[in-house]
Structure 1
Amino acid sequence: MKQAFIILFGALVLLGCKPEEEKNRKPNFVYILADDLGYGEVGYQGQVKIQTPNIDALAASGMVFTNHYSGAPVCAPARCILLTGKHGGHAYIRGNDEWRERGEVWDYAKAAADPNLEGQRPLPGGTVTLASILQKEGYKTGIVGKWGLGAPTTESIPTKMGFDYFYGYNCQRQAHNLYPPHLWENETKVPLNNPIVVPSTKLDSLADPNDPASYKKYQQQDYAPTLMHEKALSFLEENKDEPFFLYYASPLPHVPLQAPLNDVDKYHEEFGEEDPYTGVNGYFPNRYPHATYAAMISLLDQQIGEVRNKLKELGLEENTIIVVTSDNGPTYTGGVDFDYFESSKPFTNGYGRTKGFVYEGGIRIPMLVSWPGKVEAGSKTDHISAFYDVLPTICDLLGIPAPADADGKSFLPTLLGKEQEEHEYLFWEYPEYGGQQAVRMGKWKAVRQNIMKEENLEIELYDLSIDPKEQNNVAAANPDLVKKMEEIMQKEHSTPILDRFKMAALGD
């Protein structure tokens, strides 16, 4: 009897201590970055053809940001800006630099065999990142998915940039196949059970494009998004007893159009027959492009739901901040039908206005934050924010100073329902697709196009409050405002360190 009492008393003591320990534990962070997910491609933003019940449920449990922006309209600079807190006028990586001087980097098979040809231009060794800051604060840090900020043989790989664990694609070009011949785990190249099929591989010359069997070679065994998802769930399980930061940089729904056939079949039944995509611009053909693209987004949604369920299972949901967003706007190529899905709704769809461009469809992205008990469920904010605000926000939450050269402002007050200091303006600089700059100041949006290609410095001006599609350039009627935007563009531009990103018209 006495022994039973001692056991019972000890259990009560332990149970009594646990709430206090949980109360004092730092919050966990799960930052889920979709790849090319458009503003209008999720249900809570009005999407009707693609089902995203788990993302919608998270949005209902937390706060939706209606004015959140990527740092850039393509992959690598957006990820650099997110991790360093510096906007495109100050960032080291300002575009997708494939580091071509190494050799045949665009030869998929050669790069798959030679790590010296993989990966993008590296960040300088010792770059301070969000991950390295959190590591110093006692966090276990992991990235699962796509890196894109440095080749395997450089100092700019995840495990040397603040992450304790990495699994996924090092190289964005290798991610142009969702059944790749290998992935990376930390600093080890992991072979997969997939023979190499080069992304530009077309249908066989005698194949019937209407026969699903003609596309069999594009469906292999080891599907990278599934393998990476399993590692993401394992990371949560293995680090449940200490604070963690999981950067889940999913390759979905970036083309090529590849998804498990069972998922495609569900949408094929719903959408009915459609014309095949026969493959251009280096992406695989696909028999049911609408159904496959929808299946890719729904698979992403399913995986996000499983992450949330894993946190619940581990008793960690209330102490975990979940962010779901996208690296830039939707693509215009590879068989994606942006008009069918109204991918950028309510903004303008298509080439020149979505991915690759600093108009709203290219940089305004879906973003939600869930933090039960802290962020009001079902709330929505019009606060104007961008990727380079994420680092200062997390530093603010932890009570530590952000790096002095960070460009962002913490949006923690917005999350907690407190008074928020607004940006005077947001700034973008992107030297590709002709060379571009943009400023968002309140309801006003200024855009410069073809700075590099044509040395054009003319400023377009749009009133987003009445013209979200950016169709009516009102620069001529607002010369003082245009002059202010020009001054901001000049002030926020610094000469890039890398020659590839320099624009002569800006004085570089």
Structure 2
Amino acid sequence: MKKNYNLSLSLLLFFILLTPVFAEKEEKPNIIFILVDDLGYGDIGVFFQNERKAQNDRSEPWIMTPMLDKMAKEGAMLTDHYTAAPVCAPSRASILMGVNQGHAHVRNNQFDKEIGENYTIADILKTVGYETIAIGKWGLQGKGEAPNWPAHPLKKGFDHYFGYIRHADGHEHYPVEGIYRGSKEVYDGYEIVAGLEKSYTGDLFTAKAKNYIISHQEENSEQPFFMYLAYDTPHAVLELPTQEYPSGGGLNGGMKWLGTPGEMTNTASGEVDSFIYPEFANATYDHDKDPDTPEIAWPLTYQRYATVNRRIDDQVGDLLQLLKDLNIAENTLVIFTSDNGPSTESYLPKEYMKYTPEFFNNFADFDGIKRDVYEGGLRTATIAFWPNHIKAGTVITSPSISYDWMPTFADVSGASAPIRTDGVSLLPSLTGKGKQEPSQIYVEYSQNGKLPDYAEFLEAHRNRKRGQMQMIRKGNMVGVRYDIQNQLDDFEIYDVSKDSHQGDNLANQKSELQEEFKSSVLRRRIADLDAPRPYDTSLVPALKGLKVKEGLLATSYQVSSEFIPSALGKAISEKVVNLPGVEGENGNLVVWTGYINVPESGKYTFSADREQSHFFMRIHDIAVIDGNYKIADSAEGSVYMEAGYHPVKIYLMKNDKSAKLKLSWQFEDKPKEVISPDFWFR
């Protein structure tokens, strides 16, 4: 008995000692980020289409998405989630870089521009041991000769890449037999993939994603993976699959990667651009809104659109089933979202009816579509799935935005998001644990078109010129500006929790919020010469009514990340100093917090001279100097400021004890000078 007791005790102690190891493994789940192209908020059943069906108005056709509905039922719906930009390239850049459009390198319609020299989500997750793979549409590679683009995914933190590099290639959903612009190039890493006849891209990317996950679990299941799965559908050419979706799903059916040239997947056969789901091919509707006249068949254009959407639904369901079959669903966080609102693009031959989102009301109960900053262009139907971590049936109504995913994934994985990020972790909202920090929701964009003249939109919005636009949200209040001429232009202000169409402008009742919005948009962005704005040289307002003391608060930390992180942990020491300097500071990271007193209104160019150290400077929420990605001896940035006090945070990560720092500024065209202690306050 004594021997058995000792054996039992030994086993108990053994498993207790092992527990932290298992716990640590569980803290690093696999992450799959599914991004679809131009899917409207109103395209998904649980977000809108199910309501249309329930109303049973035969003049208002509907689309069903059973797999995505199931995903939402088993996970969480984010009803107030926004995209960072209402068009694909800048939207994707903000997602991958974790910054708003006022800090992104890719803005407006800068398709195929390089994503920028900074950390991506993939870079961040690799620091804590993730294997990273990007599949699908990229469009952020920059100029250069193929395949050696400066911002190829393999140069931006991804270990593997398979998909369309160029933006326009994603307009075709058959790489070989494209009906709009002909054949396009799919890359596997740096190599062009041959033998893609009859390969419908949605199926191709799904099969490749499944193949990677299966192989990873067979060969390297101990290592977590991050997958950026960027479909090119339903955007652009409404091309149809070759055949019905293969029965089953996961390990036991659905899409399969065969890898044989000419037969890459199990649907790379049959007739190109041919299959329409029977429920859509046979669907009729009350076209003239007269129940006494016979219904007619859906136009082929809309049969096509519904099929493409339903195909996405099958593809996502197939992937989720695979996770369950492999017993990794509970350790895999899956996010499903879109890059922007619905589009009018269909790129079909002339004999087809032009596509309009009015047929299915893909914009749901909102006004605006792709390229608009009203809710219909920015609000994206988003679903999070993570069994045993996200409670089934969760509905998250707090506002969030797509650049929140970088800090969220960092939080989930135990990584550090860089100090540059404009996002916050959504983990508290997803899991119901901890306090959710409010998201900083801000969008800027410019486009020369107009809002569509749709009957479902408010008359005041129809045919409205877009031009320079901004959107900002605080709580339930959203500020919107169209065709901005200068910084003095007022925001329209709406309570979007009660006014989805944004018709009741509360600007006259919200004068304080008006001024706050005007100040806030200047305090969270920096000018970009490639995307000029009419407010680029507007003065960032100083803070009023402050009571300050001389000096800055210097706080020291010891951090283990390779760069300055956004989450710093517990401070080692704090003291008041008369100017930023690293001599005698503890830890390897010093943060100086306080205010800078700007003596004159105008343009200030700040420069930081330091010896091979990571550096970052933020004034208000403006990333004025970012020297965190590439270590250099100096860095600079310019900002227009009103005379007075402006909050400042200065970060320096010391590489060794000999590190030094010298901060200088230049006002307008005057000589550059070191910022003296006379201008620093706390």
TMscore range, shorter length: 0.7 to 0.9
Are 2:192 and 1:189 aligned? yes
Structure 1 CA distance for aligned equivalents of residues 434 and 16 of structure 2: 36
Paired position in structure 2 for 1:163: 158
Paired position in structure 2 for 1:342: 361
Paired position in structure 2 for 1:134: 125
Pairing partner for 1:251 from 217, 232, 236: 232
Pairing partner for 1:320 from 328, 332, 344: 332
Query: Contact 1:183–1:192 (CA<8 Å) still a contact in 2?
Result: no
Query: Contact 1:430–1:436 (CA<8 Å) still a contact in 2?
Result: yes
Query: Contact 1:122–1:156 (CA<8 Å) still a contact in 2?
Result: yes
Query: Contact 2:202–2:315 (CA<8 Å) still a contact in 1?
Result: no
Are 2:58 and 1:67 aligned? no
TM-score, normalising length: structure 1: 0.79
TM-aligned CA deviation for residue 450 of structure 1: 1.7
CA RMSD of aligned residues (A): 2.6
Query: Contact 1:358–1:436 (CA<8 Å) still a contact in 2?
Result: yes
Pairing partner for 1:331 from 337, 340, 343: 343
SS of residue in 2 equivalent to 1:248: strand
SS of residue in 1 equivalent to 2:282: helix
From the superposition, tell whether residues 478 and 160 of structure 1 become closer, same or farther in structure 2 (CA, over 3 Å).
same
Structure 1 CA distance for aligned equivalents of residues 309 and 492 of structure 2: 34
Query: Contact 1:445–1:463 (CA<8 Å) still a contact in 2?
Result: yes
Range 294-303 or range 422-431, more displaced: 422-431
Higher strand share: 2
Structure 2 CA distance for aligned equivalents of residues 384 and 419 of structure 1: 17
> Which sections of structure 1, spanning at least 5 residues, go unmatched?
1-14, 99-119, 195-220, 276-285
Structure 1 CA distance for aligned equivalents of residues 19 and 241 of structure 2: 42
TM-score, normalising length: structure 2: 0.60
SS of residue in 2 equivalent to 1:250: strand
Query: Contact 2:125–2:413 (CA<8 Å) still a contact in 1?
Result: no
Structure 2 CA distance for aligned equivalents of residues 468 and 147 of structure 1: 32
Are 2:200 and 1:231 aligned? no
Instruction: Map 1:288-367; keep pairs closer than 5 Å.
Output: 288-334=300-346, 335-348=354-367, 353-367=368-382
Range 312-321 or range 17-26, more displaced: 17-26
TM-aligned CA deviation for residue 338 of structure 1: 1.3
Structure 2 CA distance for aligned equivalents of residues 494 and 474 of structure 1: 28
From the superposition, tell whether residues 456 and 252 of structure 1 become closer, same or farther in structure 2 (CA, over 3 Å).
farther
> Which sections of structure 2, spanning at least 5 residues, go unmatched?
1-14, 54-61, 176-182, 244-274, 288-297, 347-353, 449-466, 539-682
Instruction: Map 1:188-207; keep pairs closer than 5 Å.
Output: 188-193=191-196
SS of residue in 2 equivalent to 1:343: coil
TM-aligned CA deviation for residue 63 of structure 1: 1.0
Query: Contact 1:396–1:412 (CA<8 Å) still a contact in 2?
Result: yes
Structure 1 CA distance for aligned equivalents of residues 300 and 154 of structure 2: 39
From the superposition, tell whether residues 249 and 223 of structure 1 become closer, same or farther in structure 2 (CA, over 3 Å).
same
TM-aligned CA deviation for residue 274 of structure 1: 11
Query: Contact 2:209–2:229 (CA<8 Å) still a contact in 1?
Result: yes
Provide the aligned length of Structure 1 versus Structure 2: 429
Pairing partner for 2:90 from 52, 56, 77: 77
Give the AA of the match of 2:123: S
Pairing partner for 1:415 from 416, 424, 430: 430
Query: Contact 1:450–1:456 (CA<8 Å) still a contact in 2?
Result: no
Pairing partner for 1:502 from 514, 520, 532: 532
Percent of pairs with identical residues: 32
TM-aligned CA deviation for residue 311 of structure 1: 1.2
Query: Contact 2:124–2:416 (CA<8 Å) still a contact in 1?
Result: no
Instruction: Map 1:46-57; keep pairs closer than 5 Å.
Output: 46-47=48-49, 48=53, 49-57=62-70
Structure 1 CA distance for aligned equivalents of residues 507 and 42 of structure 2: 28
**Bigger radius of gyration among the two:** 2
Are 2:102 and 1:89 aligned? yes
Give the AA of the match of 1:228: F
SS of residue in 1 equivalent to 2:72: helix
Q: CA-to-partner distance for each residue in 1:398-418, whole Å, 9 max, x for gaps?
A: 233321111111111111212
SS of residue in 1 equivalent to 2:96: helix
TM-aligned CA deviation for residue 292 of structure 1: 0.7
Instruction: Map 1:473-492; keep pairs closer than 5 Å.
Output: 473-492=505-524
Query: Contact 2:38–2:235 (CA<8 Å) still a contact in 1?
Result: yes
Structure 2 CA distance for aligned equivalents of residues 264 and 176 of structure 1: 20
TM-aligned CA deviation for residue 268 of structure 1: 3.8
Give the AA of the match of 1:405: R
From the superposition, tell whether residues 192 and 95 of structure 1 become closer, same or farther in structure 2 (CA, over 3 Å).
farther
Give the AA of the match of 1:158: P
Query: Contact 1:124–1:155 (CA<8 Å) still a contact in 2?
Result: no
Structure 2 CA distance for aligned equivalents of residues 238 and 500 of structure 1: 43
Structure 1 CA distance for aligned equivalents of residues 468 and 150 of structure 2: 29
Are 2:92 and 1:123 aligned? no
Q: CA-to-partner distance for each residue in 1:305-326, whole Å, 9 max, x for gaps?
A: 1111111222211111111111
Paired position in structure 2 for 1:446: 479
Give the AA of the match of 1:90: H
Query: Contact 1:448–1:460 (CA<8 Å) still a contact in 2?
Result: yes
Structure 1 CA distance for aligned equivalents of residues 96 and 439 of structure 2: 22
SS of residue in 1 equivalent to 2:424: coil
Are 2:497 and 1:465 aligned? yes
Structure 2 CA distance for aligned equivalents of residues 267 and 289 of structure 1: 15
Q: CA-to-partner distance for each residue in 1:20-71, whole Å, 9 max, x for gaps?
A: 9765422000111111111111111131422211111111111111111111
Query: Contact 1:68–1:385 (CA<8 Å) still a contact in 2?
Result: yes
TM-aligned CA deviation for residue 455 of structure 1: 8.4
Range 17-26 or range 168-177, more displaced: 17-26
Query: Contact 1:431–1:502 (CA<8 Å) still a contact in 2?
Result: no
Query: Contact 1:267–1:295 (CA<8 Å) still a contact in 2?
Result: no
Give the AA of the match of 2:374: Y
Q: CA-to-partner distance for each residue in 1:315-354, whole Å, 9 max, x for gaps?
A: 2111111111111111123243312211111212xxxx11
Give the AA of the match of 2:215: E
TM-aligned CA deviation for residue 193 of structure 1: 4.9
Give the AA of the match of 2:88: C
Are 2:278 and 1:266 aligned? yes
Query: Contact 1:438–1:447 (CA<8 Å) still a contact in 2?
Result: yes
Q: Which has the higher contact order (CA 8 A, sep 6+)?
A: 1
Paired position in structure 2 for 1:112: none
Higher helix share: 1
From the superposition, tell whether residues 485 and 33 of structure 1 become closer, same or farther in structure 2 (CA, over 3 Å).
same
Give the AA of the match of 2:527: T
Query: Contact 2:93–2:104 (CA<8 Å) still a contact in 1?
Result: yes
SS of residue in 1 equivalent to 2:80: strand
TM-aligned CA deviation for residue 444 of structure 1: 0.8
Query: Contact 1:383–1:422 (CA<8 Å) still a contact in 2?
Result: no
TM-aligned CA deviation for residue 88 of structure 1: 0.8
Give the AA of the match of 1:343: N
SS of residue in 2 equivalent to 1:341: coil
Give the AA of the match of 1:304: V
Structure 2 CA distance for aligned equivalents of residues 135 and 96 of structure 1: 30
Instruction: Map 1:144-159; keep pairs closer than 5 Å.
Output: 144-151=135-142, 152-159=147-154
SS of residue in 2 equivalent to 1:446: strand
